[in-house]
Structure 1
């Protein structure tokens, strides 16, 4: 057990980006006049990117101050604001290009974001790990951008975009076309990041389209995991690391069990109709669960006691806690309470791994640099172990899924779900 009094907390899921007009200076100069025309008529569609609330995305001092107040000493930074020439956040989905020129404009916009992000991370060196953005329509250009971004200090890895219908891209991640992407990330030690929503295509702008986009997010996450494992990507690239972030944890054991069962049945059943499956699993040297153990991780945003209870089925060293700052549903400014609620009674060594140890190893954080900061601001080990009295939680916690099932101010069950989960884990 560590002699430190507080935990080192690294959020594996935070978001940020430049203000819309700030991106101009990071664009290739040949696009700046076109950007001026585009920006003059563009209306930001998200209220939380406007006004004082929006500054959390790019105000470096404010981020450091608010994260420290919340007990967090370092963060993995996913995108949030609108890059040049995009209609909406690139994290949600990347629509098919209207033309080659449209694709090239948006590619220039993502490069501008990467250049801004490299500078932003450098402003708090050692405390931010930026996730770079790419487009897939020119895979060799994507590889060059990944090499540039890695040299510029972006160690958070690559955000995996989708291959939307009509894009002309192979919709199957195990297609040979994508092998240069997997190879360069494995070579440079950069994880592939699958963030909730980033690979799911949007079918339109009707209210129903938005509803089904949200409902289908987890299906697309499972789709990606199946492609990478059963399609042989993790077999061909054993050094590649993959992270599934802000997607929950409960689906993982059932998916691994289903794929393990599929592979076992394909191997033992020699019937003709299963011959294609036998060919697929015959190229795999491990079971799907073993590939997960070797190469996959989960960014556990809003981790709930019910998820803590199944941590052994996922792998304690595969789970990385996240706050989702600065989103409305984030655990901020109640992250210390969320951590105590989720991890009450869990052995300290396991809590250390989930709160910071695994993220430090995967995303390149220096724990020796972070520990002195954590000793000022991190959650106290004793308080985490003791848990929280749900009757004393502030009313504001209801915004965050980490507190699902809690009615602040009522004396219900005092983290009974957590105790029950610990007994059953």
Structure 2
């Protein structure tokens, strides 16, 4: 077969990976005044999500906090390289000190005592993550977690993150037990500082279960999975309608693992329609939203295209709609090391998604946009990719039905086993 390769191996930068310290390893990153209380907390820690996906080597996100892939640097690099991944943007995964469960499943602090302990735990995680990233220079890009109950604390942590080489900040997730109304003007100093320092700020999908009644855990799991997209996606209209992107035009906001990349595109005409309706005198939207909308200089869709980046698995039509979403705003993420992510089938996933897509566009989706947003050195990473990355020919080769893994987590490529659909890109 004649080769149609036109370039070197692909650089893969996953903009959705997860890591964290083993539970007791966080102690060394806490201030000494917390050590005794930490020991008591660690001795009695129990996670309601721990019994999910117990049969798989690759654990579901909410239970993967037990895997050494979170903290064993050498083992993690080996696993990522097997998948062809050269670099990663790292979100939290394990359980910070004094949390009831992982940071992407727990509600925010609901009183001052909870805040003080959770904030100590968040800061411990951030300092651990800084050290973890330093073990693989240029290949790990850490995002500093924030709590935003105390603005001064948050601002100090953002400054520390920038000085320490972190590549962005992560807002706390919304949860039915603790909402954060990001349209509040009191958060403007956070947006201003992130804009000033060039720090991307964003949100990641979360599982919004409840820790209040153990007899209802199964229903909490079901409702949490169903609600997860809503609690993250509400961020978009809050930032747009409150004028955050108007006041801070250079703010870069990322949405990660909050549905397919297409969801922002689908929201644009809805938000534009609401904004236009709020400018029509005498209408219900104008009565309630007219004053706020009148302060916006642009349409909501224009803010989305200027200020918003989206990271996803590139499923559910993302590849077909990539030009409409914005080739400069869409990024690929493997969701490593979660069972619902691409590992251990990343190379096959890419073959299922990307045949027929031009090489330059594949490079943009798999690495280019991420490198620009998070400041990665593509020349350095190309050296890694030349050793471990997938070739142009490999990704261009459509997946055959007999190659589809017998793994339910692979289902997002469609039911390929009967030959009806081999590539999402062609559906």
When normalised by structure 2's length, the TM-score is 0.89
Q: Is the 8 A contact 1:308 1:342 kept in 2?
A: yes
TM-fit CA distance, 1:405: 2.9
Task: Give the whole-Å Cα distance in 2 for the aligned partners of 1:52 and 1:245.
Answer: 19
Q: Note if contact 2:305-2:326 (Cα within 8 Å) is conserved in structure 1.
A: yes
SS class of match (2:416):
coil
Bigger mean CA deviation after superposition, 217-226 or 27-36: 217-226
Task: Tell me by how many angstroms 1:126 deviates.
Answer: 0.5
Q: Which residue is 1:257 aligned to?
A: 269
Q: Which residue pairs with 2:404 in the alignment?
A: 393
Is 1:361 equivalent to 2:369 in the alignment? no
2:119 aligned to which of 92, 107, 117: 107
Aligned to 1:27: 30
1:80-119 superposed matches below 5 A: 80-97=93-110, 99-119=111-131
Distance change >3 Å, CA 393–CA 218, structure 1 → 2: same
Q: What's the offset of the Cα at 1:73?
A: 0.2
* Structure 2: runs of 5+ lacking an equivalent: none
Runs (4+) of structure 1 moved beyond 6 Å? 49-53
- For residues 18-417 of structure 1, what are the structure 2 equivalents within 5 Å? 18-45=21-48, 46=50, 48=59, 54-97=67-110, 99-155=111-167, 157-162=168-173, 171-197=180-206, 202=210, 204-205=212-213, 206=216, 207-247=218-258, 248-267=260-279, 269-271=280-282, 273=284, 274-301=286-313, 303-304=314-315, 306-396=317-407, 398-407=408-417, 410-415=418-423, 417=424
The 8 Å contact of residues 19 and 70 in structure 2, kept in 1 or not, is answered as yes
| TM-score, length-scaled by structure 1 | 0.90
Deviation at 1:337, TM superposition (A): 1.0
Provide Cα deviations, 1:301-351, integer angstroms capped at 9, x if missing partner: 3x2263211212211211111111111222111111111211110111111
TM-superposed deviation, 1:107 = 0.6
Q: 1:338-377: CA deviations, max 9, x gaps?
A: 1121111011111111100000111111111101111111
Contact 2:169 2:201 in 1 (8 A): yes
1:162–1:201 CA contact under 8 A, matched in 2: no
In the alignment, the residues of structure 2 paired with residue 161 and residue 330 of structure 1 have an alpha-carbon distance, to the nearest angstrom, of 22
Flag the 1:314–1:401 CA change in 2: closer, same or farther, 3 A.
Answer: farther
Contact 1:331 1:402 in 2 (8 A): no
Q: Does the residue aligned with 1:194 lie in a helix, a strand or coil?
A: strand
Shift of 1:202: 4.5
Distance 2:37 2:278 in 1: 55
Q: Do the aligned partners of residues 195 and 51 (structure 1) sit closer, same or farther apart at CA in structure 2, a change above 3 Å counting?
A: closer
Q: How many residues align?
A: 409
In the TM superposition, residue 277 of structure 1 has moved relative to its aligned partner by 2.8
Aligned equivalent of 2:16: 13
- Matched with 1:423 is none
Cα shift at 1:387: 2.2
| Conserved 8 A contact 1:222-1:255 | no
Asked whether the 8 Å contact 2:29–2:128 carries over to 1, the reply is yes
Q: Contact 1:340/1:383 (CA < 8 Å) preserved in 2?
A: yes
- Pairwise CA RMSD: 2.4
Distance 2:202 2:120 in 1: 21
